[in-house]
Structure 1
Amino acid sequence: MTMKDVYTECPMYKKTLIALRQTNMEDAEDLLKCYSDEKAVPFFNSDNCNGDNFHYTTLERMKKQIEVWDFCYKNKDFVRWTVILNNTNEKIGTIEMFHRIADDKFNHYGLLRIDLHSDYETQPIINEILEIANENFYEAFDVKAILTKAIPDATERITSLVRIGYQPLNSKLMTYDDYFVNLKNK
């Protein structure tokens, strides 16, 4: 089977509770609920993002960020998907995935960022995001492992990560802590 280039045609993924589809401007209003949620902000992975903590309080700022994500997609830097609840069609956050090229031991690893409204930072939602990643992203992004961040307070996320097979990295990624890793075929 030939895998389509994720940057030519962005795939949509669906599980029981959630669907993932490429983020677009129509998502801005719902996503502002996530990115203005002060309880959620500490769980976002803003490492190496030029000081942006992704706490947005205006629709204008949210729309500007979606424009940035769209530009980065067209530039093949990363893909940003909106996390959509299947039963209500509510947009509850986003995920980002990219193939990391770096002069370190994590070269050719994928990096998965998960940004969820605090009401949805739950194991059932996170489990489905991780299942989609494990089933699709190794091939779609041609990576040998996936890294993702979970701060110590992210107990629901950490429980999901361990359940799905992720392990603490136990070393820094660049200068950053709190990463988990899942190796392909593990």
Structure 2
Amino acid sequence: MSKNVYEQCPIYEKELITLRKTSKEDVEDLLKCYSDEKAVPLFNSDNCNGDDFHYITMERMQKAVDFWEFSYANKYFVRWTVILNNTNEKIGTIEMFHASAEGDFNHYGILRIDLQSKYEIQSIIEDILDVSNEFFYELFGVEVVLTKAIPEASERILALKSSGFKHINRKFRNYDDYYYR
């Protein structure tokens, strides 16, 4: 890795969105995403100790952001806030981390994408995937990026396919619906 993402977290700007490290100042705006009942089923909560990321209070959202900051400080994963460029609205987050395992997906990265349902659209997701495709392999020292898209996530699946991701066509750690690139 040429840069250490845990020492200096980069900011990425694309046509529609900007990604910057999630912080305490994002809590109120992010509650709109994590309280969105239409969005929650699209989040990847696999292997998250039962947390479904459906938060309906400021206190619970604050605890989540505190945990994300703790996790960053301890080099577990990075959470970026997704900011819509034309309005500066914070519409969700993404998470990325390097994981090692035996088998086909050794040295892989997991990309989680959490967006308000009204922003779960192909063009926004493609901007996120453009950042991942351009920077995350080197930044996280991974050979493969995996991300989840349930069959109902039609816009996400279109974005994944147009960005070069393919369905793995089997379970990944006992979970379904993963795509890789």
How far 1:107 moved relative to its partner?
1.9
Normalised by the length of structure 1, the TM-score is 0.96
Moved over 6 A (4+): none
Unmatched tracts of structure 2, length 5 or more = none
- Residue in structure 1 matched with residue 96 of structure 2 by the alignment: 97
- Secondary structure, aligned partner of 1:45: coil
Superposed displacement of residue 181, structure 1 = 0.3
1:104: how far off? 3.6
In structure 1, what is the Cα distance between the partners aligned to 2:81 and 2:114? 9
- Which residue in the other structure is 1:32 paired with? 31
Cα deviation, residue 157, structure 1: 0.2
| Residue 32 of structure 1: how far off its partner (Å) | 0.1
Aligned to 2:54: 55
Identity %: 64
CA distance in 2 between partners of 1:47 and 1:29 (Å): 25
Describe how 1:66-145 pairs up with structure 2 within 5 A.
66-145=65-144
**Helix, strand or coil: the match of 1:33?**
helix
Given residue 38 of structure 2, which amino acid in structure 1 is its aligned partner? Answer: K
Aligned residues: 181
Counterpart amino acid of residue 53 in structure 1? D
Query: Corresponding residue for 1:7?
Result: 6
1:64 and 2:50 aligned: no
Unaligned runs of 5+ residues in structure 1 are none
TM-score, normalising length: structure 2: 0.98
Deviation of 1:19 after TM superposition, in Å, equals: 0.2
Residue 163 of structure 2: aligned partner: 164
Residue 43 of structure 1 aligns with which residue? 42
The separation in 2 between residues aligned to 1:24 and 1:171, in whole angstroms, is 36
